[in-house]
Structure 1
Amino acid sequence: MRSTENQNNNYVFTYRRLRRAIGYLGIGLPVLLVGFSFIPYFNTNVQPSISDYYYTNLRDIFTGTLAAVGLFMISYKGHHNTSIWKNDQVLTNIAGIMAIGVALIPVTPQLEAQKIYTLIPYTYPWLGWLHYASAALLFGIFALLAMNVFTIGQNEAEDIPVSTFNENHIYRFCGSAILVLIILIPISETFRLFNYSTLILEALALFFFGTAWLIKGRALGDAGRIGEKLYREHNAEETENIH
């Protein structure tokens, strides 16, 4: 009995670590790319979008981080919900493939680039559209996961009131913010709303994506007031549903 309980706890903690890893990678990607752009050693200017870093000396960070997110997503095995809109295994598998696609399929370059050796030649004009479609689907699934999947299976202690900072409120807010931002990105591309508008909107979308995964991974802990406010739990010993 004790062995089964320990195995279940290890299973839950492994999922939490995986969620936190995905969250940190999502938030860290734009921070690293922009931060390193200010270091002369990398000889890279701040780019108009995150995808444009593909054509810079920071390409390995861009492709490596997205590939890692993609592999983590594919390895994330959840429940087989009958609704595809709430089936985390299907959604994360699609998101993982799209993340790897965004990493390997280059965006159309802003300027005539120097010779760059790529897995897929960037001279094909349709590749840019495939890149944008993969990115849009990726962010759309990020939003669906936050709003439709992460809100399933919360422990609800009836004696603890629902806080403004309840995890489900955070997930829905993050998912809604991602949807708004992915709608604004093509608008910003067309009208150039402000300097680096696409880069900023993409970074914000990744921030909300990462925040949802960090909260789901209990990066802030779940004991005491945090457990009550976020998860409606009395202590950190309670085991959450896998969702």
Structure 2
Amino acid sequence: MNQQDSLVHSYLFLRRAIGFVGVLLPFVVVVGSLLAGDGLLDSISGYYYSPMRNVFVGAMCAVGVFLLSYRGYDRLDNTTATVAGFAAIGVGLFPTTPEGGHTPLQGVVGVLHLVFAAFFFLPLAYFCLVLFRKSDKSRPTVRKVQRNRVYAVSGAVILGCLALIVVVNLFPDTGLHPALWLESAAILAFGFAWLTKGEAILGDLAPTPV
């Protein structure tokens, strides 16, 4: 394997690692917390205050490190990944405001959490809708066209979920945990998009030997 092939495989591994963490995170923290005897919480970020705190923080920091290590095709790719990477670490280290009473400091930290969350999800949506869909070929392969559809749907899901989270937070608590399911859907969309970019899903077919 030459150096170029080694780099390609390293980037594919990095993209898949980001994707796997994203896909697994909602299931692990929710199921793990339920098995520990806790009920459903109002958001994925709320699991910071559950027995799954270390899993949540570790996963966000891992995603952050992976994104900071990511190198795309140009400076815009790299800058977008860097912003999302720092934001992911911020989401993990600056917890959301706890339910019920909280101190003024916890309120400030909670606001910072929301800012980091926005700077995490919005670049990820930009990756899906713009950067991942670029091609250096005038005629993309059939699989590339299919992957672009996955990216478009993933980006739309992320933006749609963010908008709906803002809306549902304007209404009284119904006990149905809508923000939890919307956050989970956004994280899953992000994970599937990166798995697709890593060609774990819809990878290009190897050429048939002649």
| TM over 0.5, shorter chain | yes
Shift of 1:76: 0.5
Match of 2:79 among 80, 90, 93: 90
Counterpart residue type for residue 197 of structure 2? K
Q: Who is 2:189 aligned against? A: 208
In 2: Cα distance, 1:105 partner to 1:133 partner: 10
Where structure 1 has 5 or more consecutive residues not aligned to the other structure, the ranges are: 82-86, 114-120, 228-232, 238-243
Shift of 1:72: 0.3
Query: Are 2:163 and 1:167 equivalent residues in the alignment?
Result: no
Shift of 1:31: 0.5
Q: Deviations 1:94-124 (Å, cap 9, x if unpaired)?
A: 00000000101011111248xxxxxxx9834
Q: Who is 1:84 aligned against? A: none
Structure 1 residues 164, 65: closer, same or farther in 2, change over 3 A? closer
- Contact map agreement 1:43 1:57 (CA 8 A) in 2: no
Shift of 1:156: 6.0
Match of 1:14 among 7, 10, 14: 10
Query: Are 2:67 and 1:73 equivalent residues in the alignment?
Result: yes
Larger Rg: 1
| TM-score, structure 1 normalization | 0.78
Q: Deviations 1:120-155 (Å, cap 9, x if unpaired)?
A: x98342221111111012111110011111111265
Where structure 2 has 5 or more consecutive residues not aligned to the other structure, the ranges are: none
In 1: Cα distance, 2:208 partner to 2:100 partner: 53
In 1: Cα distance, 2:208 partner to 2:38 partner: 45
In 1: Cα distance, 2:9 partner to 2:208 partner: 12
- Contact map agreement 1:74 1:96 (CA 8 A) in 2: yes
Q: How does 1:31-50 map to 2 (within 5 A)?
A: 31-39=27-35, 42-50=36-44
Match of 1:125 among 107, 121, 139: 107
Pairs aligned (count): 208
In 1: Cα distance, 2:106 partner to 2:29 partner: 26
Q: Which has the higher contact order (CA 8 A, sep 6+)?
A: 2
In 2: Cα distance, 1:98 partner to 1:220 partner: 26
Where 1:190 maps in the other structure, the secondary structure is coil
Q: How does 1:46-61 map to 2 (within 5 A)?
A: 46-61=40-55
Structure 1 residues 122, 21: closer, same or farther in 2, change over 3 A? farther
Where 2:55 maps in the other structure, the secondary structure is helix
- Contact map agreement 1:29 1:62 (CA 8 A) in 2: yes
Q: Who is 1:149 aligned against? A: 131
Counterpart residue type for residue 91 of structure 1? T
| TM-score, structure 2 normalization | 0.89
Counterpart residue type for residue 67 of structure 1? C
- Contact map agreement 1:44 1:58 (CA 8 A) in 2: no
The structure with the largest helix share of the pair is 2
Match of 1:137 among 119, 126, 151: 119
Counterpart residue type for residue 44 of structure 2? I
